[in-house]
Amino acid sequence: MDKILIQGGAVLRGRVTVSGAKNAALPAMAASLLTDEPLRLRNLPSVRDIQTTGRLLHEMGCRVGLQNLQTGHGCELVAASPISCVAPYERVKTMRSSVLVLGPLLARFGRARVSLPGGCAIGARPIDLHIKGLKKLGASLTIEHGYVEAEAPRLIGEKVVFDRITVTGTENLMMAACLAKGETVLHNAAREPEVTDLANLLRSMGARIEGDGSSTIRIQGRPELGGADHTIIPDRIEAGTFMVAGAITGGAVELLNCRPEHLTAVIEKLEESGIAIERSGPDACRVTAPRRLQARDVTTMEYPGFATDMQAQYMALMTQAHGPSIVTETIFESRFMHASELVRMGADVRIEGNRAVISGRRDLTGAKVLASDLRASASLILAGLVASGETLVHRVYHLDRGYEAIEKKLKSLGARIQRIAD
């Protein structure tokens, strides 16, 4: 298993291009199952989860062309029959977002057999709300031998109220409703930019959707959808991660292919701590570290609140801020795995339930640390950039799931970082 070795202390300067959003690309690839016409996706990030999804769709019988279309990484997907409506445990256990094939398979083929994803480092990650919503559209779903067994001769549009906001639950139901009979209204829907990007893709395939980006989404079912050519939005979490990288090292970095409007709450919080962030182009922004980083509390919320996927990175930043801060995690029940590793590097972080109390600036020292999930890995890399001495991050396969060549991008900004292949 690869490791990443960082020699801390470099000040990051320069510009870096943000890749396409993993969490927009995954539902977009699943949407290929809704039609037998070619779906071309551009600006895909070259990360493990995209390759895994490509393999899953290929094993189901889709024609998957992962090639470099004109603009960056792209792929063409053709889900022409026959399609196996099974997402096996072997695939789903490595990537829970495989559950996104459930809605499209039910909508187009009337059946699906999808392994339950199981939990992960950050929580139990149930899919009960996906199942409850699909049942509301007339599907019958049972859980047998660790699989969701689903059938629906024809989905019928209905009102669906999510007990709590779920991003992939909203995406699964949106895709299912596109081919249902009649109107579906999703209440308490997720408002993330990735949901809107999926809605834009579905509309370009012929779907009738409105209200995406708000908590009420209306979908008029259609008899069938066609192919499309769609460019995935930039990855707002990668952008936020690089903003913190520039700030924590006391540097100044410019992010290209970045949509600041997708990160309003995160930018607001970073600016409150003294970091200067300003637009430097239509899809670019410039981040400049302050001389003195101020501690600021944060609470993660569903979009447009402060993204839970930026919580670990922000905690690393607050270990360098002057004054105490409290990071409250409201989305996942155990998303503080990175805290104990940061403490091993010299940070003073105390966990009290869903709150992490950081007692302010501590000089960090490099250490051997263990990555536990995608964003925790990123926070350890960020801490390593500012720690004195060497930090060796193990299990970076977590990182490779969602960050494209992060060590190359950081190196281009002046970081002393290298990958050690095992």
Which chain residues interact with ligand EPZ by CB under 6 A?
23, 26, 97, 123, 125-130, 164, 166-169, 308-309, 331-332, 374-375, 402
Q: Which residues pair with 142 in a beta bridge?
A: 149
120 in catalytic set:
yes
For the bound state, the minimum distance from the C-beta of residue 261 to ligand EPZ, rounded and expressed in Å, comes to 17
For the bound state, the minimum distance from the C-beta of residue 286 to ligand EPZ, rounded and expressed in Å, comes to 25
Which of 120, 178, 258, 285 is catalytic? The answer is: 120
For the bound state, the minimum distance from the C-beta of residue 155 to ligand EPZ, rounded and expressed in Å, comes to 18
For the bound state, the minimum distance from the C-beta of residue 140 to ligand EPZ, rounded and expressed in Å, comes to 18
Contact 364, 387 (CB under 8 A): yes
Closer Cβ to ligand EPZ, 112 or 295, answer by number: 112
Q: Beta strand pairing status for 140-144 and 147-151?
A: antiparallel
Closer Cβ to ligand EPZ, 158 or 373, answer by number: 373
CB atoms within 10 A of CB 363: 12
Q: 128: burial class by Cβ within 10 Å (0-12, 13-18, 19+)?
A: exposed
CB atoms within 10 A of CB 191: 19
Closer Cβ to ligand EPZ, 298 or 367, answer by number: 298
Closer Cβ to ligand EPZ, 317 or 376, answer by number: 376
Closer Cβ to ligand EPZ, 80 or 124, answer by number: 124
Q: Which value, in Å, is the radius of gyration of the alpha carbons in the chain? A: 21
Contact 8, 366 (CB under 8 A): yes
Q: What angle do CA 334, 340, 344 make, to 5 degrees?
A: 170
Residue 118 CA, distance from chain mean position: 18
Q: Give the pair of three-digit tokens for residue 395.
A: 């299990």
Closer Cβ to ligand EPZ, 8 or 193, answer by number: 193
CA distance 415 to 287: 16
Contact 1, 421 (CB under 8 A): no
Closer Cβ to ligand EPZ, 119 or 153, answer by number: 119
Q: Give the pair of three-digit tokens for residue 251.
A: 């540097």
For the bound state, the minimum distance from the C-beta of residue 111 to ligand EPZ, rounded and expressed in Å, comes to 20
CA distance to 155, 178, 363, per residue, from 174 (Å): 12, 6, 47
Contact 343, 349 (CB under 8 A): yes
Q: For residue 324, is the peptide bond before it cis, meaning its omega torsion is within 30 degrees of 0? A: no
For the bound state, the minimum distance from the C-beta of residue 7 to ligand EPZ, rounded and expressed in Å, comes to 27
For the bound state, the minimum distance from the C-beta of residue 320 to ligand EPZ, rounded and expressed in Å, comes to 23
Amino acid at residue number 355: R
Closer Cβ to ligand EPZ, 29 or 252, answer by number: 29
Q: For residue 117, is the peptide bond before it cis, meaning its omega torsion is within 30 degrees of 0? A: no
Q: Under 8 Å CB-to-CB from 331, ≥6 apart: which residues?
A: 300, 301, 302, 308
**DSSP string of 303-357?**
TTSB-GGGHHHHHHHHTTSBS-EEEE--S-TT--HHHHHHHHTT--EEEETTEEE
Residue 372 CA, distance from chain mean position: 16
Active site residues: 120
